[in-house]
């Protein structure tokens, strides 16, 4: 579980620096496994730190302001 928290922090930093992006881009920039990135996104969502917007066939994630 600690690993997911670490990856959540990595995702938060990436979104804070780079802005909104899809899971595919997060996977490339964080170089983490898909399952762990999805769990970490869930962690951040549970902490009410994420916004998600669907455009065309992709979901874009960003940090809440």
Tokens representing 28? 């490339």
Tell me the domain boundaries of the chain. 2-63
| Residue 54, Ramachandran bin (φ over 0: left; ψ between -120 and 50: alpha; else beta) | beta
**Residue pair 60/53 in contact by the 8 Å Cβ criterion:** yes
> Quick check: 59 pLDDT over 90?
yes
pLDDT digits 0-9 by tens, 18-40: 999 999 999 999 999 999 999 99
**Residue pair 27/37 in contact by the 8 Å Cβ criterion:** yes
pLDDT digits 0-9 by tens, 9-23: 999 999 999 999 999
Nearest to 50 by CA among 18, 20, 5: 20
Looking at 3.40.50.261, 1.10.10.10, 3.90.1150.10, 1.20.140.10, the CATH number of the domain 2-63 comes to 1.10.10.10
């Amino acid at each position: 579980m600690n690993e997911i928290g670490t990856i959540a922090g990595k995702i938060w930093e990436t979104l804070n620096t780079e802005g909104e992006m899809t899971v595919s881009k997060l996977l490339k920039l964080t170089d983490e496994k898909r399952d762990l990135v999805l769990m970490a996104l869930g962690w951040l969502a549970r902490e009410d730190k994420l916004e998600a917007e669907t455009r065309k066939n992709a979901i874009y994630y960003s940090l809440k302001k």
